[in-house]
Structures are given as structure tokens and as C-alpha cells.
Amino acid sequence: MKFNDKQRDSELAENIRTRKPVFWTNPARSEDGRMGSTWDDRPIGCEDVRAAEDRFRRFSRVLTDMFPELRDTRGAIESAVLPVPALQSHLGIPLESGRVLIKADHALPVAGSIKARGGIHEVLEFAEKQLLKSSAGTLAGIGDLSLETIRETLGKYQVAVGSTGNLGLSIGVIASALGLGATVHMSADAKRWKKDRLRKRGVQVVEHEGDYGAAVEAGRTAAAADPNCHFVDDEGSLSLFMGYSTAASELRTQLSELGIQIDADHPLFVYLPCGVGGAPGGIAFGLSHVFGPHVHCFFAEPTASPCFLLSLLDESGSNPSVYDIGLDNATEADGLAVPRASARAVEVMRSGIGGVFTVEDEALFKNLHAAAITQGIRVEPSATAAFEGPLWLTSSGPGNAYLARTGLTGSLPKATHLIWTTGGLFVPENEYQAFFERGA
Ligand SMILES: *Cc1c(COP(=O)(O)O)cnc(C)c1O
């Protein structure tokens, strides 16, 4: 990791090194907020988002057959947008600063976290490829295949993934439902209950001593030895990224149903917890295609693991690890405990992201408690990382400078602040109680 001369002596660099919360806004954000348009030299655009949406639609009947909880949405994996007036006031955001809403991915069905869209999409894409190869189906006919045929056809194939927990949950659950073999390589910091939940579904769980990066490498190596095994690469997968991006059109419909318009006079600020950056990056990519320059995305990282911020700051183009500057990646936010960002997601976001802020572990628990007592919302610690976003943007020096720079200071009363809560549905009661008490 190389800070440049100006950065090295700056307060920002010092605060990052000493684990103080920071808010950095992106001086390289283009005026139209346009994201990068390549992934590993492959051009990417709204056709890719649409292809992922179409894939989910093709499988909607199959998904309903596997997961009865999807009956109400006819196979769509969706989360609500929630008005949270009591939380807004608790967070100290006056109405003159805009309206705070929550995008409730903490309650996403099937996987219980933001990983549902990305993980399920990638496994569906792999499954679809094998089904077409086996002459079991045509693209148009995928939705008419019986679950039995699908499971029979896919039985000889495997998927593998390295994960701190939630990605493994998502991949393991969908893979085993489709009849695929599944192996999840988990880091030492993954929670016990997540491993148990997977094993109960017949997923093979391999535990690794090292951190998340080590688990991913071990998974990659093991999968490479088996031609029938597909490795889900959290740091490099375009299929995951595009699966996440499908949240954008869902959000457009929901905001419009709530009578909320987004335009030059009514900006949308979105705050997303960030690990490797694939989930928030994919969502931000989708949002930029839906809302253009009027959406501004900010990522939230633990003070111990600000890997995405380091990569954005690093001008040498290397993809630094948080260990390089003496941080330890030790955080209770297991969904965000990632030492190195996805280089591809960073490159897509470089010209489009609004900024990044960091959050201390204590604040995660405080926010978890606040969500429960103000709105009855039950989230896991990682999922609350973004709660401080609206306050940073509307009440800090860098935030006010960002608003002035983008010409939005006067539009604040008409702004929407969307906090993305990213996980929690399946956290066991006793663990949740311990989080809640710590927050109290
Ligand atoms: C994985 C995860 C994130 C972040 O996703 P990345 O793709 O790693 O950036 C955020 N919150 C929760 C709960 C997660 O599990």
C-alpha cells in the first residue's frame, strides 16, 4: 500500500491507520456518476443486468417449488423498503435533511442476507448451462422442467465457494436444493451456527485456520482439480456482481409505489455495508443504470478492514491489503471482515462511487440495538454498518463539501437516504440477544 505524498501526512491516512472512523468522498466521481464499463477487459452494461433479471424470471417457478416462502412473490427473491421515522429521529437526522428509508435485505428469503441475489444467481447460471448441455431443456423451456429432472441432471456437478459465512449459506442452500453437490470453505471467523445450518442441508463445510482470503484460495485450489466443479469466486465473479445488480430495478418499482421520485431535484443517497465490494458494487452498478447521476452510493467498512477505501486511495494500482498498513482485520462484522477488496469491483466503482466511511465495532452493536427498539427491525452486526451514513453526509465537513460540489445542498429536504440492511434473518435467538445486550 502506498499513500501518495499528500495523503501520507494527512489526517485521513493517520485516522485510517489508528482505526478512527473516517468519511472520505470521491474526488474522481464523474459528473454523471457513470461507473466503469469493463470487468477484466470484458465490456459490461445494462444488458448484463437485464440478462440476470431474465435468468431469475426463467427460474421463478422452479424457485417457488424449492422454496415455498417465495409463493407470495411468485418466485422473486425480494425485500421491502421500509419507512423508519423513529430510527431517523434516533439517528439525529432532521426531516429538513431528507427522508431515511431502509432497504430490508436483512430479511431476504432463502439466504437471509444480501448474498441471496448474487449467490443464487451464480448457481442458477451454472445450473442453466449444464441443463442446456444435457439436452434436458431449452432456454425458454427451463421454467417448465420438473424439479426431479433438474436434480437428476445436476447430480454429478459440484459448486465450491470460500466464505466468511453468508455467501456460503446462500450458495450452499440453493446448490443443495437444485441437487448439486456443494462444498463451502469457511474462515476461522465464520460463526458456528452458519456452519451447522449448512451441514444440516448436506453441504460439506471445510474449516480453515486462516482469514477469509486463505479460505477462498483453498476453495479455488480444491475446485480446480475437478472439471465438474464450479468455483464461485467472491473476488472476481461477474455473475455474482450482476446477480446483486438486479436489486436496482426492484428498488425503482418500490420507490415509485411509495410516490418517491428521483431526479435532479430529488437525489437518492444509498449507504451500503462493504466487504470485498461485490454486493454493494453490483447494487451501485445497477442503480447507476436506473437512476443515472441522481443516485450517490456510499460504502461502509469496519475501521479494522477498510480494504475498499484503501484500494480507491491507492494510486499505484496495486490492490492493497489492510495488513499492509498495520490493521488487523479483526471485527465482529463477520460479513465485512475482508482484508483485500475485489480489484474488479474497485475499478468499476472508481469513477462512480460517492465515498466510503468507516465504523467502529461498538457502533455496530449500538445501531443493532437502535434498529430493534425504534422499529422492531432485527439485523446482524454487519448489517448496521451503514447507519451512520446519513449523518456523515449531512453533518460533517467532508459531507457538506460533497453536497456543495455536486450542487445538492439546497435539495437536501427533498432527498431520500436509503440505508441498506444486509443480513440477520437466520441469526439464532441466543446470539441475537447477546448482540442486543451489548448494544444496550
Ligand atoms: C457479504 C456481506 C456484505 C458485503 O458484501 P461484499 O460483496 O463482501 O462487499 C455486507 N453485509 C453482509 C451481512 C454480508 O454478508
Beta carbons within 8 Å of 434's beta carbon, 6+ residues apart? none
pLDDT per residue rounded down to tens, the chain (440 residues): 667 666 766 899 999 999 999 999 999 999 999 999 999 999 999 999 999 999 999 999 999 999 999 999 999 999 999 999 999 999 999 999 999 999 999 999 999 999 999 999 999 999 999 999 887 678 878 888 999 999 999 999 999 998 878 999 999 999 999 999 999 998 776 788 888 989 998 899 998 887 777 888 888 998 899 999 999 998 899 999 999 999 999 999 999 999 999 999 999 999 999 999 999 999 999 999 999 999 999 999 999 999 999 999 997 878 999 999 999 999 999 889 899 999 999 999 999 999 999 999 999 999 999 999 999 999 999 999 999 999 999 999 999 999 999 999 999 999 999 999 999 999 999 999 999 999 99
Distance from Cα 116 to the centre of ligand 1, integer Å: 11
The amino acid at residue 263 is D
Tell which atom from ligand 1 comes closest to the C-alpha of 299. Answer: 9
Question: Which of residues 236, 267, 289 is at a domain's end?
Answer: 236
Q: 411 and 289, same structural domain?
A: yes
Closest by CA to 385, choosing from 424, 437, 351, 345, is 424
Q: To which residue does cell 431469475 refer? A: 56
Question: Probe ligand 1: pick from 105, 115, 122, 169, max atoms within 8 Å of CB?
Answer: 115
Question: Which of residues 236, 259, 292 is at a domain's end?
Answer: 236
Q: Give me the CATH number covering residue 191.
A: 3.40.50.1100
Closest by CA to 371, choosing from 427, 315, 306, is 427
Q: 294 and 221, same structural domain?
A: no
Residue nearest to atom 2 of ligand 1 (CA): 335
Q: CB–CB of 97/218 below 8 Å?
A: no
Residue nearest to atom 6 of ligand 1 (CA): 275
Q: Which residues have C-beta atoms less than 6 Å from ligand 1?
A: 113-115, 166, 273-280, 335-336, 338, 380, 382-383, 422-423
pLDDT at 6: 67
67: left (phi over 0), alpha (psi -120 to 50) or beta: beta
Q: 388 and 279, same structural domain?
A: yes
Residue nearest to atom 15 of ligand 1 (CA): 335
Q: 268 and 122, same structural domain?
A: no
Distance from Cα 272 to the centre of ligand 1, integer Å: 9
425: left (phi over 0), alpha (psi -120 to 50) or beta: alpha
Q: 342 and 255, same structural domain?
A: yes
Model's pTM, two decimal places?
0.96
Tell which atom from ligand 1 comes closest to the C-alpha of 234. Answer: 7
C-alpha 232/C-alpha 425 separation (Å) is: 23
Closest by CA to 7, choosing from 403, 343, 315, is 315
Q: 107 and 181, same structural domain?
A: no
Q: 40 and 165, same structural domain?
A: no
Q: 82 and 137, same structural domain?
A: no
Tell which atom from ligand 1 comes closest to the C-alpha of 338. Answer: 8
Residue nearest to atom 12 of ligand 1 (CA): 335
Q: 123 and 92, same structural domain?
A: no
Tell which atom from ligand 1 comes closest to the C-alpha of 165. Answer: 15
Tell which atom from ligand 1 comes closest to the C-alpha of 278. Answer: 7
Question: Probe ligand 1: pick from 113, 170, 307, max atoms within 8 Å of CB?
Answer: 113
C-alpha 148/C-alpha 142 separation (Å) is: 13
Distance from Cα 120 to the centre of ligand 1, integer Å: 14
Distance from Cα 113 to the centre of ligand 1, integer Å: 8
Q: 47 and 148, same structural domain?
A: no
The number of distinct structural domains making up the chain is 2
Q: 94 and 146, same structural domain?
A: no
Tell which atom from ligand 1 comes closest to the C-alpha of 423. Answer: 13
* Structural domain of 285: 5-111+241-439
Q: 346 and 254, same structural domain?
A: yes
pLDDT at 246: 98
Question: Which of residues 198, 216, 236 is at a domain's end?
Answer: 236
Q: CB–CB of 332/359 below 8 Å?
A: no
